[in-house]
Amino acid sequence: MILSLDRQIPLSTLSEINKYIHKVKIGYPLILENIEYLDDIVKLHWDEIIFDLKLADIDNTMVLIVSKFINYADSFIAHSFIGIEGALDKLSEFLKNQNKSLYLVLSMSHKGWNDEFYPYLKNIAKTIDPKGFVVGATRPNMIRIVRNDFRDKIIISPGVGAQGAMIGDAICNGADYEIIGRSIYESKDPVTETKKIIETQEVKINECKRTEN
Amino acid sequence: MILSLDRQIPLSTLSEINKYIHKVKIGYPLILENIEYLDDIVKLHWDEIIFDLKLADIDNTMVLIVSKFINYADSFIAHSFIGIEGALDKLSEFLKNQNKSLYLVLSMSHKGWNDEFYPYLKNIAKTIDPKGFVVGATRPNMIRIVRNDFRDKIIISPGVGAQGAMIGDAICNGADYEIIGRSIYESKDPVTETKKIIETQEVKINECKRTEN
C-alpha cells in the first residue's frame, strides 16, 4: 500500500502509520502547505518516497522542478501525454543520472479522463521505459490492459476509498500497490483506519486469489 | 508581451522591466526557489499575474493547489487533456467563484507534443470556456487553427527565443501575447534586452501587417 499525503498529520501519527505502510506519495498540496514537513517525513523509514507532481511541462522546467526535491524523492510521477522530444526524454535521462525513478501516468481515476489515448501513451511508455505506471483504481479494465502490456513494470493505483474504488480491487486486477489518502488522513483515528484498510485489502486479495485458482 | 520568470532576478531589475512588460508568468521553479519572492512580485504593477502550474490532476488536488496562490494570481494555466468530469469542471467552477481566470493548454512548444489530439482538446476547451489558451509559438499553424476556432479568446504563446520561435511570429499568426523568459532573465542586461525584444517585435508585427494589407 502507498499512503498519499495531501496535508500534514501529526508526526507521531505518521510514524505509527509508517509501521504498516512503507511507501508514501507526496504532492504539491502538502509541499506548498509546509515544505519543511518534508524533512520530518524523510526521517521515517520508507521503502519509497514518491513525489506526485504530475509533471507535464517542457524539459527545462521539469528538470528545474525535480532538482528541488532530488534529496527527498526516490521517484517522481509525470504525465506521458506530453510526449518525448523536448519533454520526457530529458526528464527521464536526468532522473536516471540521479539514480531516481519515474512513474508515467497511463490512466487517471477521475471520470473525465479519456482512455482513447492509451495506444499513444503506451508507445511513449515503451520508449521511455520507466519504473512503472499510474493507472486509476476506478478503471479495473485499464489495469488489466496495462498489466498485460507491461508484465514486469510496477503499477500503482490511486482512487481507492474517497474516489470510489473498493479496497483490494486494483490489486485483484493486476496492480502492485493501491494508493490511499483521504480515507486515512481524514479519519478520526488514522492508525486504526490504516489497520482496518490493510485487513480489508488482505481479505479481498485472498478472495480473488481463491476465485482465480 | 508576457515575462516568464523561472527564477529570481534583482527586484530593481524586475521593476525596470515592469515599465515595459505588464504581464508576468510564474512557474514552480520560481515558487520553489523562494516562495516569499511572490510578495515582492505582487507589489509591482502588473496587468496580469499568470500562475503557470500546468495543472493536470484530479479536481480535489488542483483546487487545493490553486487555493494556495489565490491571493497572488489573476489566472492559472491547466492542461486540457485531463478532461472535464472530476477534473477541469470543479477547477473552472472554483476559479470563476474566486473571480480568477483560466488558460487551457491546447498545444505545447516542444517537439514531442502531439497535435493529433487537438480535436479532442478543442471540444474540452469549448465546454470549459476559459479566458484563453496556451499555444506554442513554435507551432504557427496551430496558432492559426486555434485563432480560427476561438475568435474572441486570448492566445498566449511560449517558446519564443530560447525555445526557437522568432520574436513576433506568434503575434503575426494570431496570438495575442508572446511569452519570453530565458532570453531576458538570462541576459547580462535584462532591461536593455527587454527593450530590444519589444522593438524587434514591433518591427516584425508592422512588417506582417503591411504584407497582410
Q: What is the mean pLDDT of chain A?
A: 96
Q: Mind listing the pLDDT tens digit for each residue in B162-173? A: 778 899 999 999
CB–CB contact B61 A112 (8 Å): no
Question: Rounded CA gap, B109 and B90, in Å?
Answer: 27
Judged against a pLDDT cut of 90, whether residue B161 lies above it is answered with: no
B168 assigned ligand-binding residue: yes
Residue A154 pLDDT class (50, 70, 90 cuts) = very high
Alpha helices in chain B (DSSP H): 11-17, 28-33, 37-43, 59-69, 89-97, 118-128, 140-149, 169-172, 182-185, 190-212
Does the distance separating the beta carbons of B117 and A117 come in below 8 Å?
yes
CA distance B64 to chain A (A): 6
Per-residue model confidence (pLDDT) at position A99 = 98
Diameter over CA atoms, chain A: 49
- Please list every residue in chain B whose beta carbon sits closer than 8 Å to the beta carbon of residue A79: 56, 79, 81
A213 pLDDT exceeds 80? no
Task: List the domain boundaries for chain A.
Answer: 2-212
Supply the ipTM of this predicted assembly.
Answer: 0.96
Backbone φ and ψ for B3, nearest 5 degrees, come out as: -85, 125
Q: Answer yes or no: pTM beyond 0.95.
A: yes
Closest residue in B to A78 (Cα) is B56
Paired with B178 in beta bridges are B157
Q: Residue B15 has which C-alpha cell?
A: 521593476
How big is the A-B interface in CB pairs under 8 Å? 115
A72 C-beta neighbours (distance < 10 Å), count: 15
Residue to mutate among B61, B62, B63, with most A CBs inside 10 A, is B61
Residue-wise pLDDT tens digits, A157-203: 999 987 788 999 999 999 999 999 999 999 999 999 999 999 999 99
Which pLDDT band, with edges at 50, 70 and 90, does B213 fall under? low
Chain A closest-CA separation from residue B87 CA (Å):
7
Answer CATH for B2-212 from 3.30.413.10, 3.20.20.70, 1.10.30.50, 3.60.15.10: 3.20.20.70
Mean pLDDT over each residue of chain B, to the nearest integer: 96
Chain mean position to CA B59: 21
Catalytic residues of A: 54
Residue B213's Cβ-count burial label (10 Å; 0-12, 13-18, 19+) is exposed
Q: Which residues of B touch A117 (CB under 8 A)?
A: 81, 117
Is B43 annotated as belonging to a binding site? no
> Between these two residues, B131 and B164, which has the higher pLDDT value?
B131
What are residue A4's DSSP bridge partners?
A25
Where is average pLDDT lowest: B17-21, B62-66, B138-142, B206-210? B206-210
CA-nearest residue to A68 within chain B is B32
Residues of A in contact with B32 (CB under 8 A): 31, 35, 65, 68
Report the relative pairing of strands B23-27 and B2-5 from DSSP bridges. parallel
pLDDT per position as a tens digit, A11-56? 999 999 999 999 999 999 999 999 999 999 999 999 999 999 999 9
Are the CB atoms for B52 and B27 separated by under 8 Å? yes
Are B195 and B16 in contact, with CB atoms under 8 Å apart?
A: no
